[in-house]
Amino acid sequence: MDITQIDFQQLRIKHILYKSKVRSFLYGGTFDSTFFSDAGPVDVWFSTVGMVRYAAEMELIALAALHQELNKYTKQLYQLYSSGKIDQAHDGLKEVERRSEQFLDLLGKLDKKIGVG
């Protein structure tokens, strides 16, 4: 396995963990504000690996933007949940799932483009 494969596998795992944390707080877990901030694992991957090694790739720029949109949306879901609009917050999981599929599809395209997919 080369470094590119490892890098993208790490991003996939971090993204899946991200989705899991969203589900967790929406079903009674604790909202981890650090995890959903610039210090969270996905954001750190983009700043320390993605933008360092793959910044010239348009797909990576799009991935970073999509993650930022997802993070903003996640915080909106938390606001709904914490204000007692739990059903609305739960309904928002469909959108999280849709954006997650977009993220993983785009990551797959980047994999193939670089030749590791």
Which pLDDT belongs to residue 115? Answer: 66
pTM above the 0.85 mark? yes
In this prediction, residue 37 carries a pLDDT of 94
Q: Which residues does the chain have with pLDDT short of 70?
A: 1, 115-117
Domain residue spans in the chain?
3-114
CA distances from 45 to 34, 41, 53 (A): 14, 6, 11
Residue 2's pLDDT is what? Answer: 87
Q: Which pLDDT value is given to residue 38?
A: 93
